[in-house]
C-alpha cells in the first residue's frame, strides 16, 4: 500500500465526555519532556491534554471504552494489571492482576472483552482481570493493538523493526490471524489502535520504525492502507488508544 499523508486536520468531533477530547489514550513516553506519562485526551494529535500523572507500574498497553450506555474506560498495564480510568480526571483505580497485555478491546455486540498477549487471544473478565485462553494468532511477528468494529470484527497489526506492518483480522473463536494487507508503514515500540464506532473508522496511534515522527493514522480495514492524520505532540509514544463509543 502506498504511503499516504494528508495535511493535519481535526478528526470529526463527537459529543465528548466531560468536555474533554474525543480520543482517550496513555502517554507511554514523551521524549520532548512536555508531558509526564499518564492518561491523555485529544481531538487533534498536536494538542494533547494530560489528564493525570500515570500510576501504572509501566504504561497502559491496551484500553477501550465500553458502550453504548455505560462509557467505562478500562486499561491494562504492559506487564499486567487491570485499571479503570476516570475520563474526567485520569484517576486510575486498580481492579486486579492480569497477564501481560499487548492490546485490548470491547465487543459492543456481545459485551465481551478481548486481549492479546504474546500472540494469543484471550477473553477477560473486566470485574477481576482474569482471562480465558482462546487460541494462538499463528503469525511470526508480535501482534499489537486490538480493535473491534460495529459488526464484531476484530483487527490487530504486527510490529517489526524493518519493512511495513500488516493489518490482520482476528477470529474470535480460535484466535487465528488472517492477513488483510500491508499498512504502508512499519510500526514498533509502544502504540495501539482504536475503532471509531460512529464513523466506522480504525485509528492507529503509530510509532514508526523508520524515524518518522509518531502520528495518528486512519487505517482502511478492507486493504490495510494507512493515512497519516497528523504527528503527535512531542513525538510521544501513545498507547492504550480508545475512542468514545456510539
DSSP letters, 131-167, are EEEEEE---SSPEEEEEE-TTS-EEEEE--SSS--EE
SS3 (DSSP) at 18: helix
Confidence at residue 15, expressed as pLDDT on a 0 to 100 scale: 38
Which helix (H) or strand (E) covers residue 22, if one does? none
Query: What are the cell numbers at 13?
Result: 468531533
| pLDDT tens by residue, the chain, 246 residues | 444 444 334 444 433 433 445 899 999 999 999 889 999 999 999 999 999 998 888 999 999 999 766 789 999 999 999 999 999 999 999 999 999 999 999 999 999 999 999 999 999 999 999 999 999 999 999 999 999 999 999 999 999 999 999 999 999 999 999 999 999 999 999 999 999 988 899 999 999 999 999 999 999 999 999 999 999 999 999 999 998 766
pTM of the model: 0.90
Asked if 53 and 92 count as a contact pair (C-beta separation under 8 A), the reply is no
β-sheet with 113-117: strand ranges across: 103-106, 113-117, 120-124, 131-136
Confidence at residue 68, expressed as pLDDT on a 0 to 100 scale: 65
Amino acid at each position: 500500500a502506498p504511503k499516504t499523508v494528508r495535511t493535519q486536520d481535526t478528526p470529526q468531533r463527537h459529543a465528548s465526555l466531560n468536555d474533554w477530547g474525543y480520543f482517550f489514550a496513555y502517554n507511554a513516553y514523551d521524549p520532548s519532556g512536555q508531558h509526564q506519562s499518564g492518561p491523555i485526551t485529544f481531538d487533534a494529535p498536536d494538542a494533547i491534554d494530560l489528564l493525570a500523572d500515570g500510576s501504572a507500574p509501566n504504561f497502559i498497553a491496551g484500553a477501550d471504552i465500553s458502550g453504548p450506555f455505560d462509557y467505562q474506560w478500562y486499561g491494562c498495564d504492559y506487564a499486567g494489571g487491570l485499571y479503570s480510568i476516570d475520563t474526567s480526571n485520569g484517576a486510575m483505580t486498580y481492579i486486579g492482576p492480569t497477564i501481560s497485555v499487548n492490546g485490548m478491546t470491547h465487543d459492543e455486540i456481545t459485551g465481551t472483552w478481548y486481549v492479546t498477549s504474546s500472540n494469543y487471544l484471550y477473553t477477560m473478565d473486566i470485574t477481576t482481570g482474569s482471562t480465558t485462553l482462546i487460541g494462538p494468532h499463528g503469525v511470526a511477528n508480535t501482534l499489537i493493538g486490538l480493535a473491534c468494529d460495529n459488526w464484531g470484527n476484530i483487527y490487530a497489526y504486527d510490529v517489526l523493526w524493518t519493512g511495513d506492518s500488516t493489518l490482520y483480522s482476528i477470529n474470535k473463536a480460535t484466535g487465528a490471524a488472517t492477513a488483510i494487507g500491508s499498512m504502508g508503514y512499519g510500526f514498533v515500540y509502544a502504540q495501539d489502535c482504536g475503532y471509531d464506532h460512529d464513523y466506522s473508522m480504525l485509528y492507529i496511534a503509530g510509532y514508526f520504525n523508520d524515524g518518522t515522527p509518531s502520528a495518528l493514522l486512519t487505517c482502511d480495514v478492507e486493504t490495510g492502507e494507512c493515512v497519516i492524520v497528523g504527528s503527535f505532540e512531542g513525538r510521544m509514544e501513545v498507547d492504550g488508544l480508545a475512542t468514545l463509543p456510539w
